[in-house]
Structure 1
Amino acid sequence: MELKERILVKAEALFWKFGTRSITMDDISRDIGISKKTLYQHFTDKDDIVYQVMLYRLDKNRENVSCQMATAHDPVEEILLASEMMRQHLAEMNPALLIDLQRHYPRAWEVCTEFKEKFLLESIRANLKRGIEEGLYRPEIDVEIMARLRVEMMRVAFDTEVFPRALTGMIEVQIQLLHHFVRGILTEKGLFIYNQYVQKHQNEPATTTL
């Protein structure tokens, strides 16, 4: 792994755990074991490293989601696999990170917004359309409304005012919202397939739950 990518990986881990505002360039260089001079040879300032970390992470997310979707047998499995992968990643994120980005790092936040509008929403739209065509999703659902609802469900799980951490963990919130969404769009045929996937996953030795 080249030094710049190693810096991005280490910085991402720090941002994900502690948020961006509490992490300094000193923290990043110390964690990696390099001098600040070396760090500044690759990044102009903290704003730049936050921006590039988000570019790096979202590129990885696009790649991972695309790979998951390519292995799915049908739209039901596709949405379960893709949502599970995204949920696993988001569950590791400090809720303060998104707030930090929105308030203090406009370039990085713009990257997140573009990812949501141009990749995430489009992926969900395509899944919904395919599910309707194959008779797995209810034909009367509004694809645009449901796609945006799914994205907002993922976002609201981070809102501690809506879901206080003392009430339930973020992972459990994501699980509940995912199942609620999927079951709400299924036909009887889709529900049968969905139940098969859930039952299969529950019977497998796994570290996560669909």
Structure 2
Amino acid sequence: MTTHTSGPATDRVRVRRRAERASYDQDLVREILDEALLCRVAFVDDGRPYVLPTLHTRQGDTLYFHGSQQNRMLDRMLGEPICVEATVVDSLVLGRSVFQNSMNYRSVVVLGTGHEIVDRDAKLAAMLALVDRLMPGRGPELRPLTEAELGSTRIIAVPLDECSAKVRTGPPVDREADYDLPVWAGELPLRIVPGTPVPEPHLTPGIEPRDNLVSWGSGRSGV
């Protein structure tokens, strides 16, 4: 896939509002998609627009989504144009006026059409990739998927052919006349950190969470 660093792949994904915040660097797009825990998929069903949150995983230049064979969103992703959006919020940006309060963020928009993965091994690889993205290294300790479970699952792939990133960084941009106001201004960094693991009610006594679960997120931005 072509790396679009100087401009968008198509005019449909060109960032127009605050274009200086835009990036078409595929490495940045991949980085944001990998860090975002959730994405949102916009689709049209029976003439009505819907936006639903869902889990995703990325392998190479393709996004993968999974759900049941009866999943309405996955069905509407086939053969019809969709929009996928993911955002990572890095900090609250607090200015001295109502007008200058914002967020620092990294976001991605992907346009395209999904296609179904039907090959058994490819489906299995996508399912394992999703588990590994949420909790790296957990896959080998889990009970393997049964053929019935794999058969009841639908995998939809969306290529990253049309996508763009938009990023805001830095402090608030107050008017110079507001600098002397007695109001605190600056950035409040935000991050996702793990809490204390809560055992499932049927957990066999003596089974403790692995270290990588307790330290989840240590490699994520801001942690």
TM-score interval for Structure 1 and Structure 2 normalised by the shorter chain? under 0.3
Greater per-residue strand proportion: 2
Greater relative contact order (CA < 8 Å, ≥ 6 in sequence): 2
Greater per-residue helix proportion: 1
If the length of structure 2 is used for normalisation, what is the TM-score? 0.26
Q: Which has the larger radius of gyration?
A: 2
